[in-house]
Structure formats: structure tokens, C-alpha cells
Amino acid sequence: MAEATQEKLGLAALCHVGPDSVGGAMFRRYWLAICRADDLKDIPQAVKVLGGGLVLLNEGSGRLGLMGLHCSHRGTSLEYGDIEARGIRCPYHGWLYDVAGNCLDQPLEPKGSTFCQKVKHPSYRVQELGGLLFAYMGPQESDPPPLPRYSTLVRDDGVRLVLPPRHWDYNWFNFFENTIDSLHAFFLHKPSRADRSWENAFWDYPGDHHIEALRTEYGLKTIVHWPGPTPDTLYVRLTSLALPTVFSLGGRGVEEEGFERLLFVTPVDDDSFMVFSSDFVPQDRVDVIKKRDQSRYAPPTAEPVKEYDKRKHVPYRGQVWREDYVCQSTQGKIGYRNEQLATSDRGVILLRRILMEAIETVQQGGVPMGIVPTEKAHETITLDAFRRILRKSELNQVMS
């Protein structure tokens, strides 16, 4: 099925997310993170998701709304509208909409007019969970699939931290496939692993790396392992993700067990995306994580730049996010660039296959991988991830 899908649609389908694209149709079957709950105040907030302009609001009664940005009357932006007890009122001619998109009032129409009953403004479902606001923009909006209860969003045995979103100006897939490409860290990020870095104790033992990629219930996981510090041990890095764009980063070593970080990637359009982060730190690990992050995010040593070096992104060495940005943003879009995948790309290959299968499933009217079934609506989903030294005998448990 995967080969037929790629031949029929082409990998370029992955990088297009607009309402008329097959990639966009796939994305609209999932809940997507669109805002931090703390960032939504008492005024409308314009957002762009999957190529569409939207306005997000917290109605006076506390109900959340996500609606088409432009008034159905004559297109004025509802970002400048007034939030009232029953919804949002356009500032131009006063049309009032509730969060379900019903037009409730048209004050300049003749008395007794029922025209407002014929107007249905675009609206979408919004839910808050764990400090993030999620939107569902697909079919069955009156009865969408359950919002996944990821463990970082629902745990109560520690401290949760929802970081401000990051905004990037290149295609979402370049970023997302990098999350499953564990081995790039050995080369690209080597200059960034100074004494302050948590990576030193784990990555400074290069050897014969083995990478495996396996399907899971909601997505996939990759396991990278190589010879450990003693003959009976291995260095193991496990990473997991769930469709469409959720990625897990776990603790670094035994002292950080129980720490979880989930990244939620939301395409803005074909050329930009947002990344939301949710951290959960066990109560007895708060000080460990705080010290780690203080050192990890310390200002990097400035990279010397030759006076004649006019390259756009120089300097970039010495800071992980800039190194990733340069490599990912200059790749070009998937399906349009020339590339030759190697053994180290097993995770990338499986990720592409699974996403293409999801696109094809939606085109055929089916339910794509990663949708939570109704009977599991209240179950907690944990995406395992860690960097750890394991005994060789423990590897099979990780692979299962």
C-alpha cells in the first residue's frame, strides 16, 4: 500500500496543508494545538492554522470559540470585534455570532428580519487540556474524535510547564522528520556539546550505531543503540511520536526518570509552523531539571565569523536550535528536493510511509492511524522516550 500511495500522490503531498490539499484533509482529522491557554485573554486573537485565517476567543460565559477570521457580511476581520456574553460582534455593521457560528443579531436589518437565521459562519471545536488549546477542524465537528489525553497534559504528580510557542518560517515536515533522525546529533550538534551540555555524558562514546524503527499504536518509535561503557551494556536512545505531529522527549539518564516533554507541531501554512511544548517534571526531580536547563540554555560561545562571510545564517554553530534551523530550512520541501536516503534514515523512511498511508486512508474515507477510538477516550497516552545506559539483556524489552 505504501508504494502505491507514494506513486499515486507523491511525497510532496506531505508538505501541503491547505483546505484543498490531500495533506490538509489528513490534518483535519486530528486535534491540533493552536494556543497556550494563558495567552488567550479577553480580546479576540487572530490565528492561522492549515492555511486558513481564524479568530480565537473566550466568550463571556467562558465558552471557547474558533471561527472564520472574516465576517460573513463583508469580510471585516473579527480580530477587532467585540466579545459579548453571547459571542463576538463585528465592529463594522454589528453582526453577532455565537461560538457555533450562528448569526444571532443583525442590528441594521429591518425589524422582524429573519435573514440572520440563514447565515452560518465557519466555526470549529476547541478544547483546553493541560494548559493548551486544541482545535478540531475536520468533519463530524458536532461529534469529533476524542482529544488524546497525553500524559504530560493530565499527570498530577509533579509540576507542568507549558512553554511559549515557537514560530518557524519553513515547512512543518522538515522539522518533524528531524525529530525522528536521532543520529544527526552526533555530527551537527557536536560543536554545541560544551561542558555545560547534558549530552556529553551520553554521546561522547561513538561506536557502531544501530537504528531500528517500529510502528506503535499511535505512530512509531526509533531505538538507537551502540556499545556502552562496559562490555555488557549499551547506550540507548528511544524516541516516540504520534500522528499527526506529536513528539516525545524524555529524561536524560536515571536522575531524570519521570521527566516528560511533548512537542506539538501545528502547520500554519505550507511555509511556516508553530511548535508548542508541554513539560512535566516529577515533584522530586524539579531541582535536577532546573539545573540542567540553566546550563543547557546558557549563552553559547560566539562563533568567529570571517569579515567576508556574507552567508545569510552565519553564525549558527554553538546553539542547537540554530544548527537545526539552518539545516532544516535550507533543505527545500519534501517531494521537490533531490535526496538519497541511507541506513541511518530508517526512522525517516517509516515516518513518511505512515503519514502517506494516513493521507491515503482519509482519501478512501477511512479513519487514519493515531485517532483515539471512542472506547479509549479516557485512557492516558504515554509516548516513551529516554537516553539511558541499559544492559544488553534489557534491549528486547525496549524493542517490544
Task: Please write the tens of the pLDDT for every residue from 266-280.
Answer: 999 999 999 999 988
| 51-55 contact pairs (CB < 8 A, 24+) | 51/17, 51/18, 51/19, 51/24, 51/267, 51/268, 51/269, 51/270, 52/18, 52/19, 52/137, 54/124, 55/79, 55/81, 55/88
Give me the residue spans of the domains in the chain: 31-136, 149-300+312-399
Above 90 in pLDDT, residue 311?
A: no
Mean pLDDT score, 121-132: 96
Q: What is the pLDDT of residue 7?
A: 46
Q: What is the pLDDT of residue 2?
A: 45
Above 50 in pLDDT, residue 198?
A: no
Instruction: Name the percent of the chain lying above pLDDT 90.
Output: 62
DSSP state string for 55-81:
EEEE-TTS-EEEEESB-TTT--BGGG-
Identify which of 160, 143, 103, 100 has the alpha carbon closest to the alpha carbon of residue 124.
Answer: 100
Could you tell me the pLDDT band of residue 250, with boundaries at 50, 70 and 90? Answer: confident
Q: What is the pLDDT of residue 8?
A: 54
Q: What is the pLDDT of residue 258?
A: 74
335 residue type, one letter: G
Range list of H helices, 270-345: 286-296, 320-329
d(CA 6, CA 335): 10
Mean pLDDT score, 192-210: 58
Above 80 in pLDDT, residue 5?
A: no
For residue 392, how far is the Cα from the chain centroid? 33
User: 33, 266 in Cβ contact below 8 A?
Assistant: yes
User: 96, 57 in Cβ contact below 8 A?
Assistant: no
Q: What does DSSP assign to residue 123?
A: E
d(CA 168, CA 185): 20
CATH no. for 31-136:
2.102.10.10
Could you tell me the pLDDT band of residue 67, with boundaries at 50, 70 and 90? Answer: very high
CATH 3.40.50 fits 149-300+312-399, yes or no: no
pTM summary value: 0.90
List, for residues 94-123, the tens digit of each pLDDT value.
999 999 999 999 999 999 999 999 999 999
10: cell is 507523491
284: cell is 522530586
Mean pLDDT score, 391-400: 89
Same fold: 31-136 with 149-300+312-399: no
| H or E stretch at 174 | helix 172-179
Mean pLDDT taken over the chain: 87
